[in-house]
Amino acid sequence: MSATPVTLIGLGPMGQAMVRTLLAAGHPVTVWNRTAHRADDVVAEGATLAASPADALAASELVILSLTDYQAMYDILGPAATALAGRTVVNLSSDTPDRAREAAAWAAGHGAHFVTGGVMVPAPMVGTGAAYAYYSGPRGVFEAHRPVLARLGAPRHLGEDAGLAQLMYLAHLDVFLTSLSALMHATALLGSAGITAAEAVSELMPTFTGIPAMLQAGEDIGPQIDAGEHPGHLSTVTMMGATADHIVAASGGAGVDLALPRAVQAHYRRAIADGRGKDNWTRIVDGIRTPRTAPAG
Ligand SMILES: NC(=O)c1ccc[n+]([C@@H]2O[C@H](COP(=O)([O-])OP(=O)(O)OC[C@H]3O[C@@H](n4cnc5c(N)ncnc54)[C@H](OP(=O)(O)O)[C@@H]3O)[C@@H](O)[C@H]2O)c1
């Protein structure tokens, strides 16, 4: 039996990696990209360049999108929307859960099935054993395409709600981006004392990479948070809050940006103000769940 044809729209680093992975697995792949020359390499490797988005939709029942955001999907597929009927669109672009839900309704309105997803590895790792991706949307539609999607990375279906996969993707990126900013903040802080970035990053790396082991050496924090338990015998809110105060003061003294340390400090101050100073540091989750001031969008 010949391999399922796939259309892939969007040829940034991620889209190109997915095309190569699908070609290597024997799938006929049709591509389209706004900037046509970005297709040159994958066409040389066996992909077929469609003349238009409508032609790209016509080429395969399964259409994968790898775009900067969901607006790009409307920009590309909006004028070709009549060609969506009967297609399954798997949008692997980043955006908010609400935009993913709106897009699912939009696609359904044009007679297309819609699955949203997020690939959890950088482009060079697509198709490797380390790759995995979250999906959400109609389970039957997802299951029908699971074998093809599994080429890209281990697929995990989270549920029918189109927003779920985006939420999980963004939750991962929340940890990732905040951690990267913390690493750069600490690098700038050390730089204020003449320590080079090369030295700083090297010194900081054990903390950066050691956090999982530190968490596992303590309690199993997830179930405890679910149970509303925050036993404070290791790292209390008060102790961590004092350190957060010191980081803000040191950053101010060093003249580096205060936004990130002040945000961290605010989590601990809120828990202390709520009378939770003796609890484990995980207690800060309560204040994050119920901010006192309305969150700005
Ligand atoms: N790169 C990674 O390692 C990685 C990892 C995980 C997830 N992701 C996600 O995967 C998606 C693609 O990533 P990427 O790195 O390949 O991104 P990228 O280099 O920014 O490529 C984005 C693609 O979107 C197209 N595009 C953007 N705006 C458009 C518009 N208004 N109309 C038409 N086309 C538009 C670009 O077309 P042009 O070529 O014409 O500009 C390009 O094909 C993103 O949502 C990203 O968050 C990426």
Q: Could you report the per-residue pLDDT of 138-157, keeping only the tens digit for each?
A: 999 999 999 999 999 999 99
For domain 167-289, give its CATH number from 3.30.479.10, 1.10.10.10, 1.10.1040.10, 3.30.420.40.
Answer: 1.10.1040.10
**C-alpha–C-alpha distance, residues 243 and 239, integer Å:** 7
In the chain, ranges of CATH 3.40.50.720 domains:
6-161
Does CATH number 3.40.50.720 belong to domain 6-161? yes
In the chain, ranges of CATH 1.10.1040.10 domains:
167-289
Question: What pLDDT digit, counting tens, does each position of 98-148 carry?
Answer: 999 999 999 999 999 999 999 999 999 999 999 999 999 999 999 999 999
Q: Is the CB of 72 under 6 A from ligand 1?
A: yes
Q: Residue 196, SS3?
A: coil
Nearest CA to ligand 1 atom 31: 72
Q: Is the CB of 172 under 6 A from ligand 1?
A: no
**C-alpha–C-alpha distance, residues 269 and 257, integer Å:** 19
**C-alpha–C-alpha distance, residues 22 and 11, integer Å:** 13
- pLDDT tier, 295 (very low <50, low <70, confident <90, very high otherwise): low
Mean pLDDT of the chain: 95
Q: Is the pLDDT of residue 214 over 90?
A: no
Residue 294: predicted pLDDT:
60
Amino acid at 11: L
Q: Is the CB of 15 under 6 A from ligand 1?
A: yes
**C-alpha–C-alpha distance, residues 121 and 101, integer Å:** 23
Specify the ligand 1 atom closest to the Cα of 122: 3
Q: Among 9, 11, 14, name the best residue to mutate to test ligand 1's pocket (greatest count of ligand atoms within 8 A of Cβ).
A: 14
Nearest CA to ligand 1 atom 47: 94
Nearest CA to ligand 1 atom 5: 122
> Quick count: other Cβ atoms within 10 Å of Cβ 178?
13
CA of 66 to the centre of ligand 1 (A): 6
- Residue 52: strand pairing partners: none
- pLDDT tier, 219 (very low <50, low <70, confident <90, very high otherwise): low
Question: What pLDDT digit, counting tens, does each position of 259-272 carry?
Answer: 999 999 999 999 99
Q: Residue 18, SS3?
A: helix
Helix axes 163-191, 97-109, angle to 10 degrees: 150
Burial 259-278 (b: 16+ CB within 10 A, else e): ebbeebbbbbbbbbeeebbe
Q: Is the pLDDT of residue 232 over 90?
A: no
Q: Is the CB of 34 under 6 A from ligand 1?
A: yes
Q: Is the pLDDT of residue 12 over 60?
A: yes
CA of 67 to the centre of ligand 1 (A): 4
Distances from the Cα of 9 to the Cαs of 83, 248, 250, 293, 294, in angstroms? 14, 46, 48, 41, 38
Radius of gyration of the chain (CA): 23
Q: Is the CB of 10 under 6 A from ligand 1?
A: yes
CA of 70 to the centre of ligand 1 (A): 10
Q: Residue 195, SS3?
A: coil
Contact 116, 137 (CB under 8 A): yes
Q: Is the CB of 66 under 6 A from ligand 1?
A: yes
Contact 88, 44 (CB under 8 A): no
Question: What pLDDT digit, counting tens, does each position of 26-69 carry?
Answer: 999 999 999 999 999 999 999 999 999 999 999 999 999 999 99
Nearest CA to ligand 1 atom 32: 72
Residue 213: predicted pLDDT:
85
